[in-house]
Structure 1
């Protein structure tokens, strides 16, 4: 018998989570890519959620690399990738001492900051001076992105904090992000395997959810050209805010006596 997760509540949150992440990988970006682990963490531990999602992310990366092939910025990748390796290493080293409650609290706080940053951006629809690539900033945000990516596949917000002010061409911005996160996801296979997260149950559950990955990723690329962003993003960020509040509550409840 295949050792699958049997809790129906898990699949009730995992299926839409995988679809939303796939839409993000297809080009929608935003909170959709960050929502996966926090959403799945409502029904299982954050670490298990991240382990189940990683093989699915790798398949999405393969589709995204083909869809957005070429056009990436070599300078930005050279500035951020070394730091991301440091961040992944820090996540690996601290994995044994960070409890599930602490991870939930961390995810909730990061999600709230992410939503707050989006609201702040909406409130200041003014032109910004285009910044130039900076090696120190790229390395720092690479470390932060690597750590949050290891913990919860949530490296997008730190990466965007560095790259958005550079005002890259949309295709270059998307392509650079695709290559950056595809590289990190491959690297994360080593520590996740070493931590014993790729057991039969997690891998079988990943395989069950995996058919959604290429379909959702290609659908994201299709939706990018057709769906109004002023409808999709407010809805996605609203869902993220509710999930963030629940994760903070669960995290604080688990940590406090």
Structure 2
């Protein structure tokens, strides 16, 4: 591994930690970095382990802020989405997977720009069961193939008018649960290797440093700035992956 590659992995790990405790969309930039530096299928397993480190930190710090009623609406549709994503991973090659990841993120970026331009009233259409089922399916599928469901959750929670700490707490528990569920799927596809696990262990301390920085930022940022930041970060992440 060259110094430049090591630095990129390190920055990606810092961004994962920061995203988990502050600005969620930034984690997708890390997904793009990993996909650029590794074979696409292996990168999904490597970044999954790194994300789980950040998930544990976020769940601990936001353990009192989760909106369980929102999660109960989303969870039933997530598992079918994970299954569809696992089936898709089993049949596609790396080149097609990269293109699909890029297209999905561009679509989500466009939706987020639309949401930023025409923000709905709190709740709105996103309060219905259909929206919850759609968000759950999309989050399960996208997170299985690209570890990039942060954009889906950002769309859903911002459209619901969720307050900053409730946003972070709900997202923390959602992604921890989803990522734990993804481990056996990834393992069954043979995506975990000694090198992948070693890389995640080496990067874990940097995830914690990024998470610590994110906690300090989250305490100081206003609700309006928070919404702008999470939407903007998701758009940037989508463009980064497509342009790589």
State the partner residue of 1:159. 153
Consecutive unaligned residues in structure 1, runs of 5 or more: 1-5, 248-257
Structure 1 pair 134–234 and aligned structure 2 pair: CA distance change class (3 A): closer
Q: CA contact under 8 A between 2:80 and 2:137: conserved in structure 1?
A: yes
Compute the TM-score of the two structures, normalised by the length of structure 2. 0.87
1:128 corresponds to 2:121: yes
CA distance in 1: counterparts of 2:159 and 2:236, whole angstroms: 26
1:55 corresponds to 2:49: yes
CA distance in 1: counterparts of 2:235 and 2:172, whole angstroms: 25
Which stretches of structure 1, 4 residues or more, deviate above 6 A after TM superposition? Answer: 230-235
**Higher Cα radius of gyration:** 1
Cα displacement (A) at 1:32: 0.4
1:173 corresponds to 2:167: yes
Cα displacement (A) at 1:10: 3.2
Cα displacement (A) at 1:241: 5.5
1:14 corresponds to 2:21: no
Structure 1 pair 77–234 and aligned structure 2 pair: CA distance change class (3 A): closer
Structure 1 pair 70–191 and aligned structure 2 pair: CA distance change class (3 A): same
The Cα offsets for residues 109-131 of structure 1, whole Å up to 9 and x where unpaired, read as 2332343334434444x663532
Secondary structure at the aligned position of 1:96 is classed as helix
Aligned residues: 240
Structure (1/2) with the larger helix percentage: 2
Secondary structure at the aligned position of 2:165 is classed as helix
Coordinate RMSD, CA, aligned: 2.5
Say which is worse superposed, 34-43 or 181-190, in terms of deviation. 34-43
Cα displacement (A) at 1:149: 0.5
Cα displacement (A) at 1:160: 2.5
State the partner residue of 1:99. 93
Q: CA contact under 8 A between 1:109 and 1:244: conserved in structure 2?
A: no
Consecutive unaligned residues in structure 2, runs of 5 or more: none
Say which is worse superposed, 208-217 or 69-78, in terms of deviation. 69-78
Say which is worse superposed, 13-22 or 143-152, in terms of deviation. 13-22
Structure 1 pair 163–44 and aligned structure 2 pair: CA distance change class (3 A): same
1:219 corresponds to 2:201: no
Q: CA contact under 8 A between 1:115 and 1:241: conserved in structure 2?
A: yes
Q: CA contact under 8 A between 1:23 and 1:216: conserved in structure 2?
A: yes
